[in-house]
Homo-oligomer: A and B are copies of this chain.
Amino acid sequence: MGDLVLTTYDWVPKSPRGYVRDIRVRWALEEAGLPYRVEKTPFRARGAEHFAHQPFGQVPWLTDGDISIFESGAILLHLGERSDALIPSDPRGRSTVVEWLFAALNSVEAASLPWSIFVFSGDTTETPGRKHLDGFLETRLKHMDAVLAEREWLAGCFSIADILMADVLRLVGRFDGLAAHPACRDYVARATARPSFVKAHADQMAHFAAAD
C-alpha cells in the first residue's frame, strides 16, 4: 500500500462543477479519513499519459503506490479494502455492498445517464425510443423508492454503495427527476448532509474555482 493520489481535470466548465465524478472518490476518502493528495490532468488537451491511466479519456483515476485504477466503482471497492468505515468485513455485508455498488451504476445510472443527456440537451421531442427511456428511469426509481422507504442505508450501515447510489440519484434530483420519489429524495438529503460529502463537495468546487 502506497500514497493515495487522486487525479481529476485541471478545470471544467461551471455547469458540471460539484458533479464531476472525482467527488465520489473524495467522499470515500474523507469518510474513511485516509490521507491523499489531488493531482490535475488537462481538460482540454487529453494526451497519451491520460489515456494510459483512463482509456476513455475521463476522470478520475487513483494511484495507490504503483497501482493505477480507473472507474469510480473500482476505485471505491479498492478503498473499501483499506477501511472498515467503507465496507463491512463480514461476507454477507460485503456481498450486499458489492451488489448495490453495481446496481447504482448498472441498474440506476444506466437509466439516469441517458435521460440526463436528453434533459441537458433541452431535447423534448417525444419519440418511441425517448418514451421507452423515460419509462425505464421511472421504473427503476419506483423500485429504488420502495427499497429506500424501508432502510436508512443500503447495506445496514453507511458504505461505498451509498456513496455511489446517492451520487447517482443526486444528479437525477438536480434535473427534478425525483419529484415522485420521496424516499429517494430523503436518502440523497441524509447522505449529502454527512460532513464527508460536504467537505468533498467544497473541495471539488474550490479545486475548479482555483483554475478560473
Using a CB–CB cutoff of 8 Å, the interface residues on chain A facing chain B are: 51, 55-58, 67, 69-74, 77-78, 91-92, 95, 98-99, 101-103, 105-107, 109-110, 113-114, 117-118, 121-123, 125, 127-130, 132-133, 136, 139-140, 143-144, 146-147
Contacts of A106 in B (CB 8 A): 71-73, 105-106, 109
A67 touches B91 (CB 8 A): yes
The DSSP consensus for interface residues of chain A is helix
Contacts of A70 in B (CB 8 A): 99, 103
The chain B residue with its CB closest to the CB of A91 is B67
Contacts of A99 in B (CB 8 A): 69-71, 74
Please, how many angstroms separate the alpha-carbon atoms of A163 and B137 in the complex?
26
A127 touches B117 (CB 8 A): no
Q: List 13 A-B contacts (CB under 8 A).
A: A55-B143, A67-B91, A67-B92, A70-B103, A72-B102, A74-B98, A102-B105, A110-B110, A113-B114, A117-B133, A118-B127, A121-B132, A130-B130
9 nearest A-B residue pairs (beta carbon): A123-B129, A114-B114, A118-B129, A71-B102, A74-B99, A73-B102, A121-B128, A121-B129, A125-B127
The chain B residue with its CB closest to the CB of A115 is B114
A130 touches B140 (CB 8 A): no
CB distance from A18 to the nearest CB of B (A): 20
Contacts of A113 in B (CB 8 A): 110, 114
A117 touches B95 (CB 8 A): no
A69 touches B95 (CB 8 A): yes
Residue in A51, A56, A67, A107 with the greatest tally of chain B CB atoms within 10 Å? A56
The chain B residue with its CB closest to the CB of A142 is B56
